[in-house]
A = this chain, B = another copy of it.
Amino acid sequence: MEEETLQVFFFSHPLFSIFITLYSLILIYFPNDLLRIFLSPVLLISGALLLSLLRLGSTREPNTQPDKSYEESEEPKVFLVRESDLMGGFVEWNLRAPLEVIHEAYEEEEEEEDPTRFRKMERFPSLSVCYPESDSESDSASSSEFNFPEIGDWNSPENMGFRWEDDEGGIGCEVYSEANPSYSNNGVETKTRKKKVVLLGTGWAGASFLKTLNNSSYEVQVISPRNYFAFTPLLPSVTCGTVEARSVVEPIRNIARKNVEMSFLEAECFKIDPGSKKVYCRSKQGVNSKGKKEFDVDYDYLVIATGAQSNTFNIPGVEENCHFLKEVEDAQRIRSTVIDSFEKASLPGLNEQERKRMLHFVVVGGGPTGVEFASELHDFVNEDLVKLYPKAKNLVQITLLEAADHILTMFDKRITEFAEEKFTRDGIDVKLGSMVVKVNDKEISAKTKAGEVSTIPYGMIVWSTGIGTRPVIKDFMKQIGQGNRRALATDEWLRVEGCDNIYALGDCATINQRKVMEDIAAIFKKADKENSGTLTMKEFHEVMSDICDRYPQVELYLKSKGMHGITDLLKQAQAENGSNKSVELDIEELKSALCQVDSQVKLLPATGQVAAQQGTYLAKCFDRMEVCEKNPEGPIRIRGEGRHRFRPFRYRHLGQFAPLGGEQTAAQLPGDWVSIGHSSQWLWYSVYASKQVSWRTRVLVVSDWMRRFIFGRDSSRI
């Protein structure tokens, strides 16, 4: 799909839409007192200048009138990623929708100041879905899990090794926290004792949890091997120096709110022991007087947000020879390896073939990360490096290997097509249906669908095919009987199934959404207040909103069918069953009405967007734990008495971007809006700038972009 053939629907001039986008984004995201500065004429004029300098071409294609090809394809047009993509063969698990939502905290702070706000929202169900404020209590027998023990009942010793003041006694025993077992009986301590939340990981989930948590009755202990949060969506930009590594990180200590007692330990958790409520950790450096690197930490609540690791699928040679792109250090290493390749190829004593090999960059995996890296690299080479290494120009080759039939399969077809065409035009060799089978230090072998194995010499490989489970999670899953899974199973309130006071979120967990059909009998019974064996429409309507809350698939199903309310569904079912009396409903009719609903249960993609929303959600649950204990906010318990404490977690998809290089980005926004071109690049800039966790990183990222515009990317090998 050529850019020129896309048509402009909304505004006659692209500049107009860009300005509206930019300024409405500024209006939404920037604190009020700065608004005046941003709306000043100086900025407007310089912005206009910059924009016009870039000779904009923009396209936006709303999908309000679906075109023919779209109607032909029978796929339901939901805004969640299709399961088939999620579970699709080789690229399984490699879903990286663009960033989200660490900023939600800001918006909601304001809301909390307005006590009538929540009421208002509940009148508009579609809005209230956006802010799943709360919930608790699984409807299974384990409903006591979430009840806080009285303060007197607490038996986990409160004294932690990381208290600096009184450590002297710790000498001589392995781990300090075991040294003062009687510490918790200290009366003064007991009085002020706070509930101890241990948070593992400082990624998207952990950071947004910390940023939102705002209740001084907790003592938060964060444990992670890295003392900062990294804004992963910009990592591909870091690989080529478009953005500096330091501009995308923020020390985790700056992220937590000041009124929450938070301490951080730079260590890796290697074992979780739910029995003794301890986590065992290891620091990179020798720590105590015995040179021991290991210690343990007690918890009252454990929040697991350790993310996932790169997955090599056990393909031989991948671990040893490929670069991954997961951490900031990976991005830095990739950057210097790219420069190294050019320097290596400039050395004497090589023939052209060898130089070509050294300058052959292979990207494995056609997901957003692989595609973005390939296009960043292409821009880096063509905009900056060929100027300094003119002889390299004709020798550089970028190849993208993808096992599926298309790249960017989680995006709209139009985007996929555009991306493939653009890459072909740019000279990036996209090899579809190529499954890597072996890698050695100089060659990579891939098998086509037909079974042919071809071997290509390479200089550098970046491996970005998907994510796998971290060893500590694998071990923990074995302990709790989830050994055959890929990620920790949690309920809709993010509680790890089968554990007390342990939560898991982000890439290391998946939500096990309860199915309607499993609970259909209980639902019927609950709704049938008169115990008549049939439901009147009135009875049904009374439980309806609770059911929609509890089973989000219902709403998704209605949306996918274009229905406006559950009544439509019931009517349709009754019509199909031939029973047109329509006043009462028996269980069979209810079953047949809802039988298709569970097909809409989706695994959430492993993206920062999901992780951040989960972190925010969980922090709010923690914040309101006591309040909601007294006034539960969740839906009716289907198989118990009363209500759930919190509403279950609900994911709100805000769209995803695929930067394609050359100042062009594809954006897929909720409601199947697709926008490709320079305007979405600007949207991308604005969204990513506004989503930064701190003003420091925001300013740095924006000035990095400006630096790149003016001076290009740096090629010093440091």
Q: Enumerate A608-665 residues with CB–CB distance to B below 8 Å.
A: none
A391 to chain B, nearest CB (A): 5
Interface: A707 (CB within 8 A): yes
Rounded to whole angstroms, the CA-CA distance of A288 and B353 in the bound complex is 11
Rounded to whole angstroms, the CA-CA distance of A72 and B160 in the bound complex is 64
Q: Enumerate A186-239 residues with CB–CB distance to B below 8 Å.
A: 226-228
A263 close to B350 (CB less than 8 A):
no
Given contacts A246-B714, A249-B718, contact A283 B347 (CB under 8 A): yes
Interface: A250 (CB within 8 A): yes
A350 close to B167 (CB less than 8 A):
yes
Given contacts A264-B346, A707-B699, contact A332 B718 (CB under 8 A): yes
Q: Enumerate A24-55 residues with CB–CB distance to B below 8 Å.
A: none
Given contacts A253-B388, A700-B707, contact A349 B266 (CB under 8 A): no
Rounded to whole angstroms, the CA-CA distance of A265 and B346 in the bound complex is 7
Q: Which of B266, B348, B695 contacts A346 (CB 8 A)?
A: B266
The 8 A CB mask of A235-253 against B (1 = contact, 0 = none) is 0000001001110011101
Interface of A is mostly: mixed
A355 close to B164 (CB less than 8 A):
yes
Which of A170-178, A404-412, A546-554 is near enough to bind chain B? A170-178
Which of A7-15, A336-344, A561-569 is near enough to bind chain B? A336-344
The 8 A CB mask of A703-718 against B (1 = contact, 0 = none) is 1000100110011111
Chain B residue contacts of A116, Cβ below 8 A: none
Rounded to whole angstroms, the CA-CA distance of A265 and B347 in the bound complex is 6
Rounded to whole angstroms, the CA-CA distance of A349 and B168 in the bound complex is 9
A348 close to B244 (CB less than 8 A):
no
In the complex, the chain B residue whose C-beta lies closest to that of A162 is B348
Interface: A352 (CB within 8 A): yes
A183 to chain B, nearest CB (A): 13
The 8 A CB mask of A393-412 against B (1 = contact, 0 = none) is 00000000000000000000
Most buried by B among A289, A328, A348: A348
Rounded to whole angstroms, the CA-CA distance of A332 and B329 in the bound complex is 13
Interface: A69 (CB within 8 A): no
Chain B residue contacts of A699, Cβ below 8 A: 707, 710-711
B347 close to A714 (CB less than 8 A):
no
A339 to chain B, nearest CB (A): 7
Interface: A696 (CB within 8 A): yes
A341 to chain B, nearest CB (A): 9
Copy tally for this chain in the complex stands at: 2
Given contacts A266-B343, A714-B251, contact A351 B246 (CB under 8 A): no
B161 close to A349 (CB less than 8 A):
yes
A325 to chain B, nearest CB (A): 15
Q: Which of B226, B344, B346, B354 contacts A162 (CB 8 A)?
A: B346
Rounded to whole angstroms, the CA-CA distance of A500 and B554 in the bound complex is 88
Rounded to whole angstroms, the CA-CA distance of A688 and B28 in the bound complex is 40
Rounded to whole angstroms, the CA-CA distance of A447 and B30 in the bound complex is 59
A292 close to B349 (CB less than 8 A):
yes
Rounded to whole angstroms, the CA-CA distance of A292 and B344 in the bound complex is 12
In the complex, the chain B residue whose C-beta lies closest to that of A394 is B164
Rounded to whole angstroms, the CA-CA distance of A711 and B332 in the bound complex is 23
Chain B residue contacts of A289, Cβ below 8 A: 349-351, 354
A292 to chain B, nearest CB (A): 7
Interface: A20 (CB within 8 A): no
Q: Which of B175, B352, B389, B707 contacts A348 (CB 8 A)?
A: B175
A228 close to B717 (CB less than 8 A):
yes
Chain B residue contacts of A226, Cβ below 8 A: 716-717
Interface: A254 (CB within 8 A): yes
Given contacts A285-B340, A711-B696, contact A228 B349 (CB under 8 A): no
Interface: A93 (CB within 8 A): no
Interface: A87 (CB within 8 A): no
A227 close to B349 (CB less than 8 A):
no
Q: Enumerate A262-285 residues with CB–CB distance to B below 8 Å.
A: 263-267, 283, 285
Interface: A295 (CB within 8 A): yes
Chain B residue contacts of A292, Cβ below 8 A: 349
Rounded to whole angstroms, the CA-CA distance of A285 and B344 in the bound complex is 7
Given contacts A167-B352, A354-B288, A695-B711, contact A718 B246 (CB under 8 A): yes
The 8 A CB mask of A298-329 against B (1 = contact, 0 = none) is 00000000000000000000000000000011
Chain B residue contacts of A707, Cβ below 8 A: 696, 699-700
A669 to chain B, nearest CB (A): 32
Rounded to whole angstroms, the CA-CA distance of A164 and B356 in the bound complex is 11
A348 close to B265 (CB less than 8 A):
yes
Chain B residue contacts of A245, Cβ below 8 A: 718
A251 close to B388 (CB less than 8 A):
yes
Interface: A575 (CB within 8 A): no
Chain B residue contacts of A228, Cβ below 8 A: 716-718
Interface: A287 (CB within 8 A): yes
Question: Would you give 13 A-B contacts (Cβ < 8 Å), ordered by A?
Answer: A162-B346, A162-B348, A170-B351, A176-B348, A176-B349, A176-B350, A241-B246, A246-B716, A289-B354, A695-B711, A696-B710, A696-B711, A699-B710
10 nearest A-B residue pairs (beta carbon): A161-B348, A288-B349, A228-B716, A266-B343, A696-B711, A176-B349, A162-B348, A249-B716, A253-B388, A287-B347
Further 15 A-B residue pairs, CB within 8 A, beyond A164-B355, A251-B714: A161-B349, A167-B348, A176-B350, A227-B339, A228-B716, A249-B714, A249-B716, A253-B389, A254-B388, A288-B348, A288-B349, A288-B354, A295-B347, A297-B348, A700-B707
